[in-house]
Amino acid sequence: MQCSDERKCKVTVLQERIFIIIIACVLDLIFGDPHWLWHPVQGMGWLIDHVEAWMRKRFRIREERDTDIRKKQVAGTFTVVIVITVSLLVAAGILYGCNQIHHTLYLVVAIWMSYQMLAACSLRRESMKVCKALEAGDVEQARTAVSMIVGRDTASLTEEGIAKAAVETVAENTSDGVIAPLFYMFLFGPVGAWVYKAINTMDSMLGYKNDKYRYFGTCAARVDDVVNFIPARLSAWLMVGAAGILGMDMAGAARIHLRDRRNHASPNSAQTESACAGALGLQLAGNAYYFGKLYEKPTIGDVKRQIEPKDIRRANRLMYGTAVLMVIVGVGVLIGCGCFT
């Protein structure tokens, strides 16, 4: 895109970014992630796997219980740097090449890239499988469905535990899967969302505290904490606002968020969980089993009533309300930037 007037050019870029994000959100709302369509996160996962394997070989890390902590940390750091660099170059290179061919092609590809980074529809679709199974009284099917969207052990979960796990996942992923990608799209366009998603995928693959990844995944987990720091807090307050708009307990959402937002080992995970718990009048989190081991965790929220399958529907409404507010705020900020340029 050629532009002789620098101010007009910047305004045009901001207008195009707004257009790209809105169309991407509409596409995610309608289609989600079609299972037959290749997803960029699959490519990111492939890259992470291969870079990890190469780094372990390069640094001669052969045993999961290798006592050379420093070696694992350095290898993990190199893995993060390589994955971020490759993701940035690939995304920027694709868009640059498309723009060299034709600007319309650039817009189409930018929309596709942005749409693929959003997970609102897929999050609702997968969590509603849990809700429908519980409402039908099929606990085993509900356990199977919830096992697809949570990392904890699900074999012994009660109906209440299944519903709570699904609500927690919707609440936490409102930030990771929806608001954070939008945040970086508004700041840096599709490339920003791609780099964010690469970091988030690394954390989900390498950020475990088991013998294999306790030190190798340290850098991936820390970088994920950093890039989610602002989006997680922004998501929480947008969720508080959405609770008020949707007729939920806005005051409760704000109160529980301020009280329980630190009740998690991660500095970010309890931000939206606390706002959601307060908005719905539920108690979330608490002890859970991972890989057969019990992890004692603090609770989030107050027990005002027992959780029910309909709370999964309510959590999804809250997630969509939060996303709409994010788009409104983001568009407003970009319009303001254009006006005062």
pLDDT of amino acid 67: 66
For 332, half-sphere exposure in the C-beta direction (CA atoms, 13 angstrom radius) is 6
Does some domain include residue 226? yes
Does some domain include residue 128? yes
Does some domain include residue 92? yes
pLDDT of amino acid 292: 67
Does some domain include residue 2? no
Q: What is the pLDDT along the chain (341 residues), one digit of tens a residue?
A: 455 566 666 678 899 999 999 999 999 999 988 877 889 999 999 999 999 999 999 988 876 555 688 899 999 999 999 999 999 999 999 999 999 999 999 999 999 999 999 999 999 999 999 999 999 999 999 999 999 988 777 788 889 999 999 999 999 999 999 999 999 999 999 999 999 999 999 999 998 877 788 899 999 999 999 999 999 999 999 999 999 999 999 999 999 999 999 988 889 989 999 999 999 999 998 877 676 676 778 899 999 999 999 999 999 999 999 999 999 999 999 998 876 55
Number of domains making up the chain: 1
Does some domain include residue 214? yes
Distance CA 201, CA 196 (A): 9
State the residue for tokens 């995610």: 28
pLDDT of amino acid 242: 98
Q: Residue 318 is part of which domain span?
A: 10-339
Does some domain include residue 242? yes
Does some domain include residue 111? yes
pLDDT of amino acid 268: 93
Q: How many CB atoms sit inside 10 A of residue 302's CB?
A: 16
DSSP letters, 221-288, are: HHHHHHHHHHHHHHHHHHHHHHHHHTTS-HHHHHHHHHHHTT-SSSTTHHHHHHHHHHHHT-EEE--E
| Displacement of CA 235 from its chain's centroid (Å) | 11
pLDDT of amino acid 151: 77
Q: 251, 281 in Cβ contact below 8 A? A: no
